[in-house]
Amino acid sequence: MKVLILVHVLSAVIGVGPTFFAHLLTRPGKDVDELRIAMKYSRSLEFFPKIGGSIAVLTGIALFFLGNYGPFTQLWLLGSLILYVLIQLIVIVLITPPTRKVNEWLGRPENLDLTGAPPEEIQNALITIDRWFYLASALGVLLFIFMIMKP
């Protein structure tokens, strides 16, 4: 059981962790060269929430059925699951489209040699991404609070 808890905690940290600093990579005010590098790192980091988050959910379900945690409807348990789903929805539905827009803009042949500040449209997309990542980070903190403060 201790190994399962260890795997659960580590996968949760690895799965949600990138959310806490992803907005540092995509914050507004970057020049085109910095933005290219940031988006490259951002794409690399997408791997961790997909794998870590999936393992965290699976091990969390296993812990619930194997442990003595009480009813599923407890605030910390149901709340943790809802928060995790909300974080995933924010990333998939609200962050991915503007991120895709920035990546497509960066990949256009006519933009490959650009330097300096990106156009206002791209800056606005970065502002949107940044704001949603802050919300996802706040929900991630609340998620960890629920899991730590459980009865």
42-66 confidence digits (pLDDT tens): 888 888 888 888 898 899 889 989 9
Residue among 111, 113, 94, 91 at smallest CA distance from 103: 111
Contact 147, 48 (CB under 8 A): no
- Number of structural domains in the chain: 1
pLDDT band of 34, cuts 50, 70, 90? very high
Read off the pTM.
0.85
Residue 110's domain spans which residues? 1-149
